[in-house]
Structure 1
Amino acid sequence: MNAFRRYSRTSCGSETGIKLLSELSNWLGSGRLIPVNDIAVDLGTANTLIYVKGEGIVLNEPSVVAVERGSRRILGIGLEAKRMLGRTPEGIEAIRPLKDGVIADVDVTEMMLRHFLKQVTSKRIFRIKPTVVVGVPSGITELERRAVRSSAMSAGSKNVFMVDEPMAAAIGVGLPVETPTGNMVIDIGGGTTDYVLYVDGAILASGCIPVGGDHVTNDIHLVTHLPLSKAEQVKKTEGDASGDPTKSEGVVTVADEGGFPDVELKRQIINDVIRMRFQETLELVRERLPDDGLVRVGKGVFLTGGSSQMVGLGELAQDVFGLPVYKPESPDVSGVHAYIKDPQYFTALGLIRYAQILEEERPNSSAWGKVSGFLRSLWPFGG
């Protein structure tokens, strides 16, 4: 019996020690020991992503803020605020401060960005003022740019750089922006479609169409009367934007989770709704280009953004622009996790690359990098 008790104490002690070591390694691996040096922020209409150098995406939350009416006191930001959309009690307003490619509410955007940045930097034991690169809609005003800069500075940033989202997407794709051959990138997100055409490193045309994948989902919802969640699912799994008649044959069966009979929809109707909205959007982009714009495009049109993955969209874009269309794979960028190499993250990837270029050009930039690298080599448990 005594031997058993001695064994039990030793075993429990070992288990406790292993557990403590595991928790310690998890804590050290979380990156809290390493100060944030470079941050890339993709300030999107639907979601805001924050990337920290060497760690990957540390924040991906909806660009939604819940505020108290009158006082404008923030009650929730991101996921918490999104849950309040459409079911907020009286006195509380859940809003999207970025809408249709512009900053619709400067003050709330400033509060939201400050909150997200502090959420990332405040968890660190050691802190230094980071350099922040923010991707912004191409159509924002100088006042809105000042608001973005102010919110980042008040969150403790050392330097703030802003890059138009379509140009960030071009960098993320890995296109050589300085070549004499023109390149065109169309970044199709949830709420907006940004485009940029540049020649010799100079932007020839850029802009933002306040239409994206969410509008296509809403169109399907209005035509079929499906709930928005089901409309989104049908769009992704059954839809095709190409206009090919052979892709529109038959019906789509949508299961009803409420116990009612399944719904059958003609595939032709779904595809027509998808194609018409995307075709209208791409034609608007074409109309906003200079007269000789398409002639100056070299290799072709590059599609990025989460909604660019719509089946058949490449074929539709080729019909609209009369040029080869590519859905490129992301280039290798140091310190970038594999899951970021997805078209919806190309803008964030471009911001990361831009931050790395700034790092390379920064005087005496290697000193802290060596210290940070040494600390990470001691505790290589994460990122």
Structure 2
Amino acid sequence: MNRNYADKFKYPGILAAPLLVAVLALGGCSTDKTGDREVQTVNQPQEADKNTTDRIGGKEIADQLLAGEYERLYAQFGESLKSVVTLKDFRAMGQSFTEGIASFKLLSSLRINGYESLVWNEPQGGKGLTAAIDGKGTIIGIQILDHPAHPETDAAYSKTKFNYPFQEDWLVYWGGHNRFLNYHYEHEQVRYAYDFLKVKNGYSYEGDPKLNTSYFAFDQPVLAPADGVVIAVTDGIPDNEPVGTMNEKQPAGNVVTIQHNSGEYSTLAHFKNGSIQVKKGDRVTAGQLLGKCGNSGNSSEPHIHFQVSAQSGKSMTTIPVSFKDGKKPIRADIVTGTNLNK
């Protein structure tokens, strides 16, 4: 990456989120590194709770929490989750968190790689709940947190209208304006970034989950999202393998940054090693091939990281993306990219 621009574009390292109830991961993260991964799909088998009687369905969790069904919920916790939170602590934190809340609204329900992830907000949007459930109904992660909001920047959408930087249909794995829909949201420099996965039949891979080539996103074309000039390129960083290993020293991995006519910048990260087709100074048009999707940098599986930034004082900060289709996609949405055959 161009050094001058790199000083302005701060890509997040590993940061621990404050926990009220310990989360094990939408992707098997350790309890002291919640939210540290670019993509956190669960792609490794986990121990399931063997008690399958009187199960609480995933979408019922919020209502059952409000109803005070702590024992039933706790009985459905996986053993790893039970090892980091006791029933007594879960009850105390749940009672404190839900005080004054009459209902929760389901914002997102995502089924991927045999697991379900759900996100709720209370009506005022100040508090959120998320849970992850395996294929047998075992609760493998649950988190309840206040949701700090940034209403001024949430409304400051880009002047540039962007295409999605890929062909065909992709899944929004992280995207939205709260920390449960979009783990980037807590970090100003990447607050409105998106992570996109390629999925088929509810899975992001087929075959050995440790191999990059098993993932549908790997080696897929990554396209320029709008016209502009390439101002920074990094290539030559190896793709992480086995999948799940992370390169924290070079978190963005292989990167292309484009300056657009509006004075805004788009950054696409985690390209496949050696695949980038453009260089600094090149003029690109929307839909032009930039390179191939990879798994370089602080990435737990092949995916596309996409964000738009604008100058804010001496630094660059992300801004919400205006897409040409007029949509404001969030976690679990499927969006359709450019069709180069038209």
Normalization by structure 2: what TM-score? 0.27
Larger radius of gyration: 1
Q: More helix by proportion, 1 or 2?
A: 1
Normalization by structure 1: what TM-score? 0.25
